[in-house]
């Protein structure tokens, strides 16, 4: 398997190259650039704008800009500089990526920890009240947009005062004890993680339920029961393990969905993550910041898919990576 993982990692290079080329092209096709906004300012002379455009390299044709960008990455590991912040892209994005990761990882964990048992329960007790409530919650979760849910929840936080209105830590975070800091962070994490969990939770729960129902009708489950195995063993050891496979495949996609969901939730809930920076960069057309952010998110996605494949191979011996 190690060679296979290596091979998959090597596959990443052309994929990332393709993504970067496409992103760069799309950015160039859209009208205007970082300096367009400044052109509307009556106090800035056209000569000054021309000289800034030249210094940022924006006067070059797009393929020259792209080639320079690639060259700097390959030879200097330099992802360029943010136009607006005059700072290397990597240093702007790294802490933000960490924060987004905390949020996405919490949401992913919550999703799986809740979805699997709830799905199993709903399947085993099909048509019971727990099944009905869980499907009601699932439909609600699937139909309410994340942005709206986020707004509702911060309204809830503001009105009740039970939760902070956005942000990652309190103002007095530094003065808190070690345990207080952890509690403070968790307290701030609850609502954004809840928003991000809702949608995938609903989907995964329904999938788990459907898969398990299918499996429970399979011949080998009947055989196991006929052999006189305890029901718990039948379900946990035989049925659930088989029903889990398709969900593991979905793990990689979940990560992608969480990242894109996090983009909107971060803006509404003032979470200091990658999404906020990226949206701001998109609006101001901060080219290399956008490129850096897209490349980071793509890498996370591809690695997520790889991890999902490896997990699948571990749980199902029939599958080769």
Partner 1 sequence: MIPRTRLAALLAPALVLVLGTGCGGGGASGDDAGTSGSGTRAEAARPDPNPRPEDALVRAGVTGVYGGRYVATERQDPKTWNALVANETSSTDITSNLLFEGLTGFNNKTQETEPLLAKSWEVSDDQLTWTFHLRRGVQWSDGAPFTADDVLFSAKIIYDETIHPSMAELCKVSGAPFRFEKVDDYTVRVILPEPYGPFLNVIGSIYIMPKHKLEAAYEAGNFESAYGVDTPPGDLVTMGPWTVAEYLPQQKVVFRPSPYYYKYGSDGKRLPYLDELIYLIVPDQNAEVLKFQAGESDEVYFRAEDYAGLKDGEKAGNYTVYDLGMEMATNMLWFNLNTGKNPTTGVPYVAPNKLKIMQDVRFRKAVAYAVDRDAISRTVYYGMAEPLYGPIPPVNKNWYCDDIVRYPYNLDKARALLDEAGYLDRNKDGVREAADGTPLSFTVITNADNRERIATGNILTDDLAKIGIRCIFTPTEFNSVITKLRDSFDYDAILLGLTGGIPPDPIMSANVFKSSGKTHFWFPDQKHPGTPWEARIDSLMNAQISLTDPLARKKLFDEVQRIITDKVPMIYTVSRPGFIAIRNNFAGLEPTIFRTWVLWRSDSVSYDPARARRELGLAQS
Contact between 208 and partner 1 per CB under 8 A: no
Quick note: the x/- pattern for partner 1 over 154-193, rule CB under 8 A, is xx-xx--xxxxxxxxxxxx-------x-xxx-xx-xx---
Quick note: the x/- pattern for partner 1 over 292-321, rule CB under 8 A, is ------------------------------
Strand, coil or helix: 40: coil
Location of structure tokens 């990226």: 278
Q: Which is nearer to partner 1, 89 or 302 (CB)?
A: 89
- Count residues near partner 1 (CB under 8 A): 79
Region near partner 1 per CB under 8 A, out of 58-66, 83-91, 203-211, 303-311: 83-91
- Minimum gap (Å) between residue 99 Cβ and partner 1: 8
Contact between 2 and partner 1 per CB under 8 A: no
Please pick, from the candidates 12, 16, 28, 52, the single residue that binds partner 1 as defined by CB under 8 A: 52
Location of structure tokens 């398997």: 1
Q: How far is CA 228 from CA 101, 222, 231, 233, 298, in A?
A: 46, 10, 9, 10, 49
What tokens were used for 302? 């591809």
Which of 113, 109, 124, 115 has its CA nearest to residue 239? 124
Work out the number of other CB atoms within 10 angstroms of the CB of residue 235.
21
Region near partner 1 per CB under 8 A, out of 8-16, 24-32, 70-78, 290-298: 24-32
Structural Rg of the chain based on CA atoms? 24
CA dihedral sign, ordered 313, 314, 315, 318:
positive
- Using CB under 8 A as the binding rule, the residues of this chain from 255 to 274 that contact partner 1 are 266-270, 272-273
């Amino acid at each position: 398997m190690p060679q296979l993982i290596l091979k998959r990692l090597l596959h990443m290079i052309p994929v990332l190259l393709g993504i970067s080329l496409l992103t760069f092209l799309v950015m160039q096709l859209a009208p205007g650039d970082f300096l367009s906004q400044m052109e509307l300012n009556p106090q800035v002379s056209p000569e000054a704008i021309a000289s800034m455009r030249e210094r940022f390299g924006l006067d070059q044709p797009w393929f020259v800009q792209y080639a320079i960008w690639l060259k700097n990455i390959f030879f200097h590991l330099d992802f360029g500089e943010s136009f607006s912040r005059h700072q290397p892209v990597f240093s702007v994005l790294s802490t933000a990526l960490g924060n987004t990761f905390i949020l996405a990882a919490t949401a992913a964990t919550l999703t799986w920890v809740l979805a699997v048992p709830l799905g199993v329960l709903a399947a085993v007790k099909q048509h019971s009240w727990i099944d009905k409530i869980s499907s009601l919650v699932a439909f609600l979760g699937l139909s309410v947009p994340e942005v709206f849910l986020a707004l509702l929840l911060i309204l809830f936080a503001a009105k009740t005062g039970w939760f902070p209105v956005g942000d990652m830590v309190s103002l007095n975070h530094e003065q808190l004890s070690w345990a207080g800091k952890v509690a403070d962070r968790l307290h701030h994490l609850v609502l954004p993680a809840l928003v991000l969990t809702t949608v995938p939770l609903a989907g995964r729960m329904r999938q788990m339920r459907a898969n398990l129902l299918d499996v429970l009708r399979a011949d080998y489950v009947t055989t196991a029961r006929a052999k006189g195995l305890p029901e718990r063993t039948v379900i946990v050891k035989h049925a659930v393990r088989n029903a889990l496979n398709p969900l593991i495949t979905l793990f990689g996609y979940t990560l992608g969905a969480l990242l894109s969901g996090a983009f909107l939730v971060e803006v509404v809930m003032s979470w200091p993550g990658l999404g906020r920076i990226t949206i701001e960069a998109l609006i101001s057309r901060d080219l290399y910041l956008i490129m850096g952010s897209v490349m980071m998110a793509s890498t996370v996605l591809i690695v997520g898919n790889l991890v999902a494949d490896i997990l699948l191979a571990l749980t199902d011996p029939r599958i080769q990576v």
